[in-house]
């Protein structure tokens, strides 16, 4: 009898897991279909309103002058033997000083860290990379090339190529997600972790499934699962949707923030208008659902989490929940009136908070190799 009950219990557990998995993927594909329908309606509406300009967009042939600003650093390249990929990065500060490595988000590239490159080069060797599929770094064609393991390994390889065995790691948005994962898997290589507007991946997945409002704000995750169509929607009307991400009242930099200049915006359009650039950026999203839940969760480095109060894509409640997965000092700062694009929106406040965090505990000397 006991054996029968045991087998019945195992059967019910397995059945519950299968139902949960089925429900998970049904939700994902159902929401993808809904987002696709909404996007098609938007496309038809654009064609009706702007029949001659909807399908007009152009590749920017010449980089704007701001991308060659020598005050930001030197443009460098590294080819990683294991992956065969070439990465582009901008570096400043003396070689041999402690490494501060910056990871950008979507739809950005190294340029999003321009204010921090200038600020921290006095005390650090600052390096802002173009992550795989972005900017002047190589763009792998297969979607599988953008899984979490490959993205985390990229960071490890770059740190080691630069001649370091540890760094102060700074990430925003998708770069923040990779920074969390790197700190989880390589704790000995992260002296301090600084994340901007990016929740711990387990916090995000748990919270989104329990809060429809966050699921709605994350609708782009589902829409971006589609092949080719998202690239089209981001390109029409000469990349109008991309421009709106940074400049619109709902998602762009706040009224009190440091707005993008016309040249800054053109820098983003130059990077993202290149052939294949949007596909590389979107492939990060096309692997996310198969990469969760995480098998490891805990971060053992000191963590600073900076959060823009007006983030249009991520609910603030997730920020505090990140504390559950941190086994070290955790500091959270909510920046009033700031948007998702935090390090560009409020660079002075962000830089001051980072300096304060860096001086805590062992002080700056702890960063040296």
Q: Which string of DSSP letters, residue by residue, matches 252-317? A: S--TTS-PPPHHHHHHHHHHHTSTTHHHHHHTTGGGHHHH-S-S---B-S-EEEEEETT-SSS-TH
Choose, from 138, 154, 173, 345, the residue flagged as catalytic. 173
Which 8-state DSSP code applies to residue 299? Answer: B
pLDDT at residue 141 in the model: 87
Q: Are 240 and 43 in contact (CB under 8 A)?
A: no
Q: Are 176 and 105 in contact (CB under 8 A)?
A: yes
Per-residue pLDDT of the chain (369 residues), as tens digits, is 666 565 556 555 665 655 655 565 566 667 667 777 877 777 778 788 787 778 788 899 999 999 999 999 999 999 998 889 999 999 999 999 999 999 999 999 999 999 999 999 999 999 999 999 999 999 998 999 999 999 999 999 999 999 999 999 999 999 999 999 999 999 999 999 999 999 999 999 999 989 989 988 998 998 999 999 999 999 999 999 999 999 998 899 876 778 899 999 999 999 999 999 999 999 999 988 888 778 889 999 999 999 999 999 999 999 999 999 999 999 999 999 999 999 999 999 999 999 999 998 654 444 444
DSSP H helix total and E strand total for the chain: 14, 8
C-alpha span between 128 and 132 (Å, rounded): 13
pLDDT at residue 367 in the model: 42
The class that CATH gives domain 65-209+286-360 is alpha beta
pLDDT at residue 365 in the model: 43
pLDDT at residue 18 in the model: 56
C-alpha span between 71 and 57 (Å, rounded): 31
Choose, from 134, 207, 268, 285, the residue flagged as catalytic. 285
Task: Considering only the C-alpha atoms of the chain, give the largest distance between any 2 of them, rounded to a whole number of Å.
Answer: 78
Q: Residue 56, Cβ neighbours under 10 Å: how many? A: 11
Structural element, H or E, at residue 212: helix 212-217
Alpha-carbon dihedral 198, 77, 281, 140, rounded to 10 degrees:
-130
Told to judge if 285 belongs to the known catalytic residues of this protein, a careful annotator would answer: yes
C-alpha span between 113 and 105 (Å, rounded): 10
Q: Residue 59, Cβ neighbours under 10 Å: how many? A: 11
Told to judge if 185 belongs to the known catalytic residues of this protein, a careful annotator would answer: no
Told to judge if 154 belongs to the known catalytic residues of this protein, a careful annotator would answer: no
Choose, from 138, 340, 345, 367, the residue flagged as catalytic. 340
C-alpha span between 362 and 351 (Å, rounded): 19
pLDDT at residue 256 in the model: 74
C-alpha span between 198 and 2 (Å, rounded): 48
């Amino acid at each position: 009898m006991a054996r029968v009950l045991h087998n019945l219990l195992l059967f019910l557990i397995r059945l519950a897991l299968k139902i949960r998995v089925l429900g998970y993927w049904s939700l994902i594909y159902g929401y993808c279909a809904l987002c696709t329908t909404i996007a098609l309606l938007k496309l038809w509406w654009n064609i009706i309103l702007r029949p001659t300009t909807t399908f007009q967009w152009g590749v920017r042939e010449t980089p704007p002058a701001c991308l060659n600003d020598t005050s930001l650093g030197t443009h460098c390249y590294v080819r990683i033997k294991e992956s065969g990929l070439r990465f582009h990065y901008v570096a400043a500060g003396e070689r041999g000083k402690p490494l501060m490595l910056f990871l950008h988000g979507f739809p950005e590239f190294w340029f999003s860290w321009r204010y921090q490159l200038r600020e921290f080069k006095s005390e650090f060797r600052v390096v802002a990379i173009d992550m795989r599929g972005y900017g002047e770094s190589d763009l792998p064609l297969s979607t599988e090339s953008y899984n979490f393991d490959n993205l985390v390994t990229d960071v490890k390889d770059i740190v080691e190529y630069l001649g370091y065995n540890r760094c102060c790691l700074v990430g925003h948005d998708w770069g923040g997600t990779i920074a969390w994962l790197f700190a989880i898997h390589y704790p000995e290589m992260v002296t301090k972790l600084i994340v901007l507007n990016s929740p711990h991946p387990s916090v995000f997945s748990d919270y989104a499934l329990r809060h429809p409002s966050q699921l709605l704000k994350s609708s782009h995750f589902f829409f971006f699962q589609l092949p080719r169509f998202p690239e089209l929607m981001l390109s029409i009307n000469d990349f109008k949707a991309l421009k709106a991400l940074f400049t619109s009242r709902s998602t762009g930099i706040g009224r009190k923030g440091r707005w993008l200049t016309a040249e800054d915006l053109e820098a983003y359009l130059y990077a993202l208008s290149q052939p294949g650039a949007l596909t590389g950026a979107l492939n990060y999203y096309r692997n996310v659902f198969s990469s969760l839940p995480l098998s490891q969760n805990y971060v053992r480095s000191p963590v600073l989490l900076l959060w823009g109060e007006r983030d249009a894509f991520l609910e603030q409640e997730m920020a505090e929940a990140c504390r559950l997965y941190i086994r070290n000092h955790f500091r959270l700062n909510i920046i009033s009136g700031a948007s998702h694009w935090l390090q560009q929106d409020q660079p002075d406040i962000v830089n001051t908070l980072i300096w304060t965090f860096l001086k805590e505990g062992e002080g700056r000397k702890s960063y040296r190799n």
